[in-house]
Amino acid sequence: MTTLRIIYDNVADRGTTIASSTAGSLAASNLKNDRKSKIWRSVGTSATLSCIWTKLEPISGVVLPFCNFSDTATMQVLVYDVATGGTPILTTPITQAAPIVTLGYWSWGQQPLGVNTFSYGFNKYARVWFGKMLLARRVEIVISDPANPSGYLEVARLIVGNITQGLEYHYRSQTLQQIQEHNQATLYLVLDTKVRNYQLI
């Protein structure tokens, strides 16, 4: 289960999100809406998204689900412990935002190769994981996608938070659903209001 990450509390919804560029009414505030048709769109193929909080929030990853990024798009995340100015407490390397599935990653015939999740009713998920938990007042997400055939960046949601990974969870509930079992590690997700904010990435 080392590849399963759960952001159980999307702190981006508690912050103020702004963008360095916006196309018309397709503002960064739409990134708090779960409807895929409510999107943020940039002017041009590079932009910076910033999320700012009134207090320190625990985070260890950033996800941009349902985006139109090309396979060569890059992302870099800067994390700050102050709302304005300051020096980053973490600057991630510039990495591929939504790389294609490479040969050898999946067993043959298990998943089509050379594609991201855009196909088959899904969409691309751009993400950066920090490898540790940080307390942040602000994150800046720098996106560059000069090869984007649309000529602009488009994202339907912003998820920022601390991840839960590689552990075994059991919750008391009348309804439990086993969603994955691997190497004797079983994850159970409660299907009630207590965990309705779980995000499976």
pLDDT at 98: 82
- The residue among 22 and 174 whose pLDDT is bigger is 22
pLDDT of residue 30: 95
Task: Return the minimum-mean-pLDDT range out of 25-29, 64-68, 154-158.
Answer: 64-68
Asked if residue 148 has pLDDT above 90, the reply is yes
pLDDT number for residue 124: 81
- As for how many domains the chain has, the answer is 1
pLDDT band for position 103 (cuts 50, 70, 90): low
Does the residue 74 lie in any domain?
yes
Residue 200 has pLDDT above 90, yes or no: no
pLDDT tens by residue, 34-90: 888 899 999 999 999 999 999 999 999 999 988 999 989 999 999 999 999 999 999
Q: In which domain, by residue range, is 23 found?
A: 10-163
Domain assignment present for residue 197? The answer is: no
Average pLDDT, the chain: 79
Is pLDDT at 4 greater than 90 in this prediction? Answer: no
Quote the pLDDT of residue 188: 41
Of 16-25, 101-110, 111-120, 170-179, the least confident: 170-179
More confident residue, 89 or 187: 89
The answer to whether residue 173 is domain-embedded is no
* Rounded mean pLDDT, 15-35: 94
195 found inside a domain: no
146 occurs within a structural domain: yes
Span between the terminal Cα atoms of the chain, in Å: 13
* Domain CATH code at residue 81: 2.60.120.260
Q: In this structure, is residue 184 part of a structural domain?
A: no
Is position 126 within any domain?
yes
Residue 2 lies in a domain: no
* pLDDT for the residue 34: 86
